[in-house]
Structure formats: structure tokens, C-alpha cells
Structure 1
Amino acid sequence: MSLAHPAHTPDMINIMIVGDSISHGSSGDWTWRYRFWKHLREHGSNIDLVGPKDTLDNIRTAEVGDDDATYADPEFDPDHDAQWGRPYLTEKDEIEAKVREHEPDYLLVLLGINDLFWYGVEPPQFEANLREFVACARRANPGLTIVLGTVLPCRKAVDDPDFGARVDACNNRLRAVAEDLDTPSSPLAVAETAAEFIATEHTWDGTHPNPNGELRIAAAFADALADRFGIGARYPRPYPDVPPVALDAKASID
């Protein structure tokens, strides 16, 4: 049986990870998707990661979004819906079609930093976009469960107090939206992905997670699924100290 395509059974949980470059990953990464999948499988959860992509971004080229299959360990289910540069601003218009096509039971969503960094979205518009994203996803599946990750603190949020304040404000709005829109038929929970993530220690370039950052993102989503929905188990602490990705994996191709 292929790891990437487990046999579907009545107790199978289909999970679609929706994200930007932080979830997409790039050449040589394990990705937090890998660590999340490994953890849930180790704790007996019968899951299938679904989505339109199964690749990394080839960061060794100038083009954004070109496929790269050089995972540090390819032995996992790599399907996902993550893309470098993606914001809520655009994904809100695309998520309904993707949910209809890939039929997830759960959406795990980690978006937002591009809205703030590249598109200049302010907290009120961030909230409006998030509410529209949830509504569109639910139109495709009224019984969908959604877990929203908080926006991670990138290096810019550390160096620029105004930007950091916008990140904090958007995370507060995200939590408020989750509380407001949570229903018994379509639960909406929060994964506190930012809680244990330190940009200066857990990224390789100030934004994108290194292996130790991947662990913390995976743990936040695993904890949310375990605590709220009884799926799998909380991620064990203390975290191991994982070696970094080999530098040549990120080297430009001449």
C-alpha cells in the first residue's frame, strides 16, 4: 500500500492543509506537514492528506511555484493545498472549489503573513477576508471542520514594532472570528501556531521554518485536534533539537 494513497475506509479522516510558503516548503525540507502526518500516524489516526499539490517549491530557481520533489524524507503523504505567496485575500475566492473537489473533512489553515507583508491588509480587512474564506469553504461542505493557525511571528514582526502590532491584532481577530463562527455542525477551532514559535530560532531565513520550527507548527495543529476533537494525541514536549536542512539543498542553480 502506498503511503501517499491509503485505502479509504469509513473511519478515514481526510485533511487538507491550506497555506502559503510556510506550509508548502522548499527544496530539502521535511515540512511541518511531514511531522504532523508522522505524529498522527504514530498515534493510530487513520488520515489521508488531500489537496491539489504534492510538491515543494524549487527555491534553487528564481521562479516561484515550480515543482520540486526533493523532500528530506519523501516517505509520507505529501498531498496539500499550499503555495508560496498565497494570502487569504485570494484563497477566499478559490477554497470553495477545492473543498468540493478534494472533499476534506478537516481544513488546517495557516495563512495571513502574506496578506500583511505583501498586500498591506489591515486588521479589519483581514477579519472580513477570513470570514469570507470560512463562508466559502462551508458552502462546499456545511459539515466541514476548520482549524485556523495563528499568524507566525516572522523576523519583520520582531524588527518592526508596527508590523508586529498588526500581526498581534490580526491574531486577536482570528481568535474572535473562530469563537463567533464556531458551531456544533461545523466546528471552528484555533491552533496556536505562534505560541512557541520564535522567528530568530525557528526559521532559516527569518520567515520560513527550519526543522525545529516545523516541529512547533505541527505540534500546535496536533494539540488542537487532540484537545478539541480527540484525534491523535498532543505532541510530546520537550521538543528534540533537530539538525538544519543541508545548505546545498537551498543553493541556487547556476
Structure 2
Amino acid sequence: MLSGQQASWSLSWRPGWLRSRRRVAPAATVPKVMVVGDSVAHQFDGDVTWRYRLGVEFKRQNAAVNFVGPFRWGYGESHNYLAKNWDSDHDSQGATLITDFMDISPVPGAPNWGRFNIVDEMQSLQPDVVVSVMGNNDVNNAMVLRTLANPISIRDQYRAQGRSVLVEQRVDALVDGVLEDYTAFLASARSRKADVRVVVSEITSQLIEPWVRDEVNDAFAARLPSTSTSPLVVALSDDPKWAKAGYTVDGIHTTPTGDLLMAQKMATGIHAVAPAVLPGAAKVPQVTVPWSPVLTPKVSVSRRKVVVNWAATARANTVLGVQVKFTDLQNRKSYYSTLAQKPSWTSAVKRPGRYRVQIQGIRGTMRSTWSKVYEVRVR
């Protein structure tokens, strides 16, 4: 028989493994965010990307997040981002239409790409928030479409007639079609997760006539469906800044400065639609950011010729043109050559000596910072 002291001890003692199990709280579920879209969401090899900037805003707020999606890399084949070691999962592909994410074809009889089925992805990934950035291609393609019934495109007809009754009618039909596709996309997403929160970016392309863009964006805000359990916010990406130099490369795709604005808009949308996921107001810094890809050309000397080859580094950073700075150290003079769509540059030199080479990348309206200096000796 146990004494009183022994009995008290035996009732209060527990094996270590049992005490540890009783103290462990359930693991917190990390919210999942999936960015879905075209090249505006996908972005390119060598970019920092607004998706990275959005992740930085989550970190600033100490808000845990898991970006999900079937893809990881940018638009290209080099698997290279300027930002390193970040959660880059997404569900975006350049040149896509809204209907490419569903089991329907955009044109009767046309093959469905079938590469990114939103139903399957919602089923397997179960994101809490979907950030949808698409519609630019749908609208622009519809503006230039020619059919047997309408052999003149809307854009050509508008240029010839202005905002005539027929042009207005065709644009109204265009808007109705895009809204029908987007509504079907949202229904497909919600069919596998009814309470998913959705942020829709307005179309931002400066290549689309402003009044057409405004009509589409107004329709997004007024007519895209939202439910009590699945709210939707249209992010105000159609900001006047997009038309200013420095925010887009080509009127569509963001520069590093534009990335910050896009991240601010998307973070604001996420906070509005899912404050449990991003609890605080977005404060992404709005500053000018240079394009600073790491350019590493191959510089060699062949007899009296200096050869600069940038094919690999241009591909890795989506550089579409290059400016070469060639400096003769004997007379301290620099010469510049701008080359588009070429992989290399060769300069014949008249005398032996030391020479320096730098390159600057060009993509649309962007010019990068200069590469490091490469010095060669010609004998």
C-alpha cells in the first residue's frame, strides 16, 4: 500500500512523452495564395517580378503565406529570376486567354490548350486567395479579330469611323463576351473551393484604346460575381501611372518600378478581401527602381579584333537589344554601338593596347545598368 506522499507523487507524475504530447498545440495553417494570369503575372527571365514584391509585403507584416501553383519560373527557358530564394510558385503563362484556364475553347472548333485547368488546380492546391491577372489578351485579340461576319476588325473600324453606333455595339458585345468567360472562370474556381477569396486585376494594357479599357474595367467592377462566402475585389491596377514612362516596358509589362505599384495594388486587394490572410494595410514603397540584371558577356580577343558575345546572358535576362561601350585606354575615348536582335559585336583595333568593354541591356523602353567592366589586352 502506498503512503500518502507516494500516492500524491504517482498521481502527478506522467511519462515524458505523454507530457510533451499534451503541451503541443495544433500547427497553424499557413494561408495559400495563388496568382493566376497571363504574362503580366508570369513575367520574364531576369525579372525581380511584382510577385516577389508582394511576398516582401507579407514579410513586412510578419504574415505567413504559401504561394502555390503548378509553375515556378518566369516566361522564358533560362529559369532565372533576379531575386533569389523566394516562394515563386504561381499559375500563370504568357499569351493566355481566360478560356485557356478552363475546359472550353475560345473559338468554336479551336483546340483547347488544356495546360492549366483551374478546376484541377483548385482541387489539388486549395488556395485561400486567388489573385487573377488576365483579360488583356482577350480584349486586345477581340479588337483585331476578323471573321466572315465582320471582315473589318473593331480597331480598324474605330480608326475609320470613331465611336460610331456600330463600333459601340461591337465593343459592347466584346465586353459581354469577356465577362461571360470571366464569370465562368470564377464559377469553375469556386466549384472546388466555395469560400475562396478572389482579387481581380483590372486590365492595364496601354495598347488597348482607353475608352474600351475603361468599359471593360467598369464591367469588371459592376458585373463580376461575388458571394457572401466568396467575396471578390477588383484591384485598381488601371492607374494613370501606367501611362507614364518608367512603369511599363511596352505599355503592358511592368518595369521594376511598375512591379512596386502592381504589388501595392494586389496587396491592397488581398487585405480588403481577406484581412485574415494579410492583416495590415499595404505599404509597398513607391520608389524608382533601376533595371539591374547581372549581365555577363563573353569577351575575347582574336588577333586584332575584340569580340563581345552576349547571347547566353541576354537570353537569361530577356534582353532584346544591347548597347556596347568600348573604351580605348590609350586615348581615353569611348565608343558606343547600339545593336538590336544581334548576339555579338566585333571591333577591329588599329594598334596594340588595353581596351575596356561594358554592355547595357535594352528591353522595350528599359535600359539596364551597365555590366561590370571587362578589360582585354590586344597584342
Q: TM-score, normalised by structure 1?
A: 0.83
Q: Could you list the runs of 5+ residues in structure 2 that have no partner in the other structure?
A: 1-25, 104-116, 144-172, 296-313, 321-341, 344-379
Measured in 2, the distance between the counterparts of 1:184 and 1:213 equals 33
**Does residue 171 of structure 2 align to residue 171 of structure 1?**
no
Conservation of the 8 A alpha-carbon contact between 2:35 and 2:90? yes
Q: Which residue does 1:140 correspond to in 2?
A: 192
More displaced, 199-208 or 38-47?
Answer: 199-208
Q: Which residue does 1:221 correspond to in 2?
A: 266
Counterpart residue type for residue 79 of structure 2: A
Q: Which among 227, 251, 254 is matched to residue 319 of structure 2? A: 251
1:245 Cα deviation from its structure 2 partner: 4.2
Conservation of the 8 A alpha-carbon contact between 2:200 and 2:235? yes
Measured in 1, the distance between the counterparts of 2:239 and 2:250 equals 19
RMSD (CA atoms):
2.1
Q: Which residue does 2:52 correspond to in 1?
A: 34
Measured in 1, the distance between the counterparts of 2:59 and 2:179 equals 34
Matches for 1:149-168 after TM superposition, within 5 Å: 149-152=201-204, 154-157=205-208, 163-168=209-214
Matches for 1:79-158 after TM superposition, within 5 Å: 79-93=89-103, 94-120=117-143, 122-152=174-204, 154-157=205-208
Conservation of the 8 A alpha-carbon contact between 1:35 and 1:214? yes
1:238 Cα deviation from its structure 2 partner: 5.9
Among all aligned residue pairs of Structure 1 and Structure 2, give the percentage whose two residues are the same amino acid: 25
Conservation of the 8 A alpha-carbon contact between 1:100 and 1:140? yes
Q: Which among 197, 218, 233 is matched to residue 280 of structure 2? A: 233
1:29 Cα deviation from its structure 2 partner: 0.3
Counterpart residue type for residue 283 of structure 2: P
**Could you say which structure has the higher helix fraction?**
1
Measured in 2, the distance between the counterparts of 1:198 and 1:77 equals 26
1:128 Cα deviation from its structure 2 partner: 0.5
Conservation of the 8 A alpha-carbon contact between 1:40 and 1:232? no
Structure with the bigger RCO (C-alpha within 8 Å, sep 6+) is 1
Counterpart residue type for residue 185 of structure 1: T
1:237 Cα deviation from its structure 2 partner: 6.6
Counterpart residue type for residue 128 of structure 1: E
Measured in 2, the distance between the counterparts of 1:9 and 1:114 equals 42
Measured in 2, the distance between the counterparts of 1:22 and 1:216 equals 13
Note closer, same or farther for the CA distance 1:100–1:197 as it changes in structure 2 (3 Å cut). farther
**Could you say which structure has the higher strand fraction?**
2
**Does residue 289 of structure 2 align to residue 242 of structure 1?**
yes
**Does residue 186 of structure 2 align to residue 186 of structure 1?**
no
Q: Give per-residue Cα distances to partners, 1:37-69, cap 9 Å, x unaligned.
A: 1111220111000000000112xxxxxxxx332
Q: Which among 18, 21, 25 is matched to residue 43 of structure 2? A: 25
- Higher Cα radius of gyration: 2
Conservation of the 8 A alpha-carbon contact between 1:15 and 1:49? yes
Q: Could you list the runs of 5+ residues in structure 1 that have no partner in the other structure?
A: 1-7, 59-66, 158-162
Q: Which residue does 2:256 correspond to in 1?
A: 211
Measured in 2, the distance between the counterparts of 1:54 and 1:9 equals 26
Q: Say which SS state the counterpart of residue 156 (structure 1) adopts.
A: coil
Aligned length: 231
